[in-house]
């Protein structure tokens, strides 16, 4: 099974109104899974990770092909909740992660390689 690569990071918290409607809830946790933390960030899904219908969906404030949203760290998975409600939640089980590398640069970022 081929691996997909997810690049995320480079986001910054912003004050003020105009907040996005996030869809994540504690009901998305698997049985026995714990909620750890969440972060504001950008996500650049790999080509083919989302159906073509979502490729141009950047109403939630896309930047250079990246989606703005929140990254939820759970005890058994990572969930990306995009600001654009037309794009589905992306959930990556940690058991399927084969690589998680810091990419450095000006902003804290990482690249995730996941088989599912």
Determine the Cα–Cα distance for residues 103 and 110; give it in Å rounded to an integer: 5
Whether residue 105 is contained in a domain is answered as yes
Domains in the chain, number: 1
Domain that holds residue 68: 4-12+34-114
Whether residue 29 is contained in a domain is answered as no
Cβ contacts of 53 within 8 Å, gap of 6 or more: none
Chain centre distance of CA 2: 19
Whether residue 83 is contained in a domain is answered as yes
> pLDDT digits over 68-77, tens only?
888 888 888 8
CB 88 within 8 A of CB 66: no
Higher pLDDT, 26 or 94: 94
Share of the chain above pLDDT 90, in %: 2
pLDDT, residue 87, reads 83
Whether residue 19 is contained in a domain is answered as no
The CATH number of residue 75's host domain is 2.30.29
Q: Can you give the pTM of this predicted structure? A: 0.67
> pLDDT digits over 76-105, tens only?
888 888 888 888 888 889 899 898 888 877
pLDDT, residue 95, reads 92
Whether residue 104 is contained in a domain is answered as yes
Please compute the mean of the pLDDT values over residues 47-62 and round it to a whole number.
58
Whether residue 21 is contained in a domain is answered as no
Whether residue 65 is contained in a domain is answered as yes
Whether residue 68 is contained in a domain is answered as yes
Neighbours of 112 (CB within 10 A): 22
């Amino acid at each position: 099974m081929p691996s997909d690569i997810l690049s995320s990071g480079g986001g910054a918290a912003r004050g003020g109104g105009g907040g996005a409607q996030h869809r994540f809830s504690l009901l998305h946790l698997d049985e026995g899974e714990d909620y750890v933390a969440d972060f504001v960030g950008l996500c650049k899904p790999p080509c083919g990770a989302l159906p073509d219908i979502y490729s141009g969906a950047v109403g939630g404030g896309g930047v250079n092909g990246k989606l703005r949203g929140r990254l939820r760290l759970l005890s058994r998975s990572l969930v990306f909740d995009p600001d654009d409600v037309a794009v589905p939640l992306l959930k990556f089980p940690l058991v399927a992660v084969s690589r998680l590398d810091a990419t450095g640069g000006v902003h804290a970022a990482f690249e995730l390689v996941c088989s599912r």
